[in-house]
Amino acid sequence: MVSIELQNLRFHAFHGLYEGEARTGSPYEVSLRISYDEGKSVFADINDTINYAEIFAIVKQRMMVPTPLLEKLADGIIRRIKHQYPRTREISLTIFKLHAPIENLEGRVGVTLTKQFD
């Protein structure tokens, strides 16, 4: 089993349940880990692995689509990755909202979604 990781990807996006979030947006941080069966791969070229540049493009594209719940956003990213890379066995994805509209909150809030595939 091999895993690739993309950590602390930063985006300004417009997710959330509150009207102000849709208007002004907020900074987000995304990290993910994708595990796959390497089979008999000799890792001779990019086709023997999962291309992290393509994964970044998937995440970036989906982050630009406003979504009320982070759970739905994470699920959409995971489904797209699995569709593009069918040999994926597990994906764990974390999304943090860095400036959540919660009075007196110092820190960040987020969600982690992990899916395993047969």
User: How confident is the model over 58-100, as pLDDT tens digits?
Assistant: 999 999 999 999 999 999 999 999 999 999 999 999 999 998 8
Say if residue 113's pLDDT is above 90: yes
Task: For residues 98-106, give the mean pLDDT.
Answer: 90
Domain ranges of the chain: 2-116
Would you identify the CATH topology of the domain 2-116? GTP Cyclohydrolase I, domain 2 (3.30.1130)
User: How confident is the model over 12-46, as pLDDT tens digits?
Assistant: 999 998 888 888 899 999 999 999 988 887 788 88
**DSSP collapsed to 3 states, 6-54:** EEEEEEEECCCCCHHHHHHCEEEEEEEEEEECCCCCCCCCHHHCCCHHH
Rounded to 5 degrees, φ, ψ at 51 are -80, 110
Say if residue 101's pLDDT is above 90: no
